[in-house]
Amino acid sequence: MTFGDRLHAAVADRGPLCAGIDPHAALLGAWGLGDDVAGLESFALGATEAIAPHVAVVKPQSAFFERFGSRGVAVLERVVATAREAGALVLLDVKRGDIGSTSQAYADAYLDPASPLAADAITASPYLGFGSLTPMVETARRHGAGLFVLALTSNPEGPEVQHATAPSGRTVAGTVLDHLGALNEGATTLGSYGAVVGATVGETGESFDIGGPLLAPGYGAQGGTVDDLRRVFGGAVGRVLPSTSRDLLRLGPDPVALRDGALRIADDLAGLAG
């Protein structure tokens, strides 16, 4: 099955919530853990074990593991394996973007099943030109994996690049969306190539009818609501994966509270497309 097919089935079974696993120092402290590898391991595995059986997608943020070096990356490998064993798809948030052999090396690291860090999909940056992602696109296609490409992010610095006009007359963000739509042509259920669009970006004038999933970070603690999602995505809201981390992770370390929090948010999102 393609990633899009697997994602379509997972969302039908568990709902559209994408749960972030973001073990930054403040959350480790809030859980009563040290800002060290032992604290990282307890936090990340505890959260994954509690949440992953109940959500369609788990999204570990690689940077919070990498800051501890090789031992942190080893914990990330265990998080990926644990989430998959629980039936969740893993979207590894790495936001990589480069050219040529380096782009291919990133693709091999995160999308080739032979790698210990292989995930179902990754986030990617297109700002060296969308064609620079070709090695990632081809590797994803070869292994039934997926990509979520930055298009319209909600950080205040984003518009200076994303709203700029390309030589074609389209915005940069619109050009990214057009490329994704082309990659998803012919998908039977859901395309495997998605866009990252912030839940709080507001009216954009862009069409999100790209045939693939739409990752919407910023739902929950960052201010995004169901009404925001409907306003931003319009008729494409049925393909949105709202992503939240703090709303869930602040409920730990109690695994029952984490589980119940995931189920509550899933209930809140149940009527998203309605």
Distance (Å, whole) CA 52 – CA 270: 18
Query: What's the confidence (pLDDT) of residue 132?
Result: 98
Task: Name residues of the chain where pLDDT drops below 70.
Answer: 273-274
Query: What's the confidence (pLDDT) of residue 220?
Result: 81
Query: What's the confidence (pLDDT) of residue 224?
Result: 85
Distance (Å, whole) CA 219 – CA 154: 11
Crossing angle of helices 100-111 and 134-143, in 10° steps, is 30
All residues at 6 or more sequence positions from 51 whose CB lies less than 8 Å from its CB, including other chains = 19, 21, 58, 248, 258, 259, 262
Query: What's the confidence (pLDDT) of residue 197?
Result: 98
200 touches 228 (CB < 8 A) = yes
Q: Which long-range contacts (CB under 8 A, 24 or more apart) does 235-239 make?
A: 235/209, 236/207, 236/208, 236/209, 236/210, 237/272, 237/273, 238/272, 238/273, 239/190, 239/208, 239/212, 239/213, 239/214
The label of the residue with tokens 């081809």 reads 138
Q: Which two tokens stand for residue 225?
A: 């609501």
Query: What's the confidence (pLDDT) of residue 271?
Result: 79
Mark out the alpha helices in 234-270 (DSSP H runs).
246-249, 255-269
Catalytic residue among 24, 84, 95, 259: 95
16 touches 56 (CB < 8 A) = yes
Query: What's the confidence (pLDDT) of residue 273?
Result: 66
Query: What's the confidence (pLDDT) of residue 272?
Result: 81
Q: Write out pLDDT tens, residues 152-177.
A: 999 999 999 999 998 889 999 999 99
CA geometry: angle at 216 spanning 202 and 185, to 5°? 100
Q: Write out pLDDT tens, residues 47-78.
A: 999 999 999 999 999 999 999 999 999 999 99
Query: What's the confidence (pLDDT) of residue 223?
Result: 78
CA distances (Å), origin 166, targets 107, 175, 197: 27, 8, 19
Distance (Å, whole) CA 152 – CA 204: 9
Distance (Å, whole) CA 149 – CA 153: 10
Query: What's the confidence (pLDDT) of residue 274?
Result: 56
The verdict on whether 95 is a catalytic residue reads yes
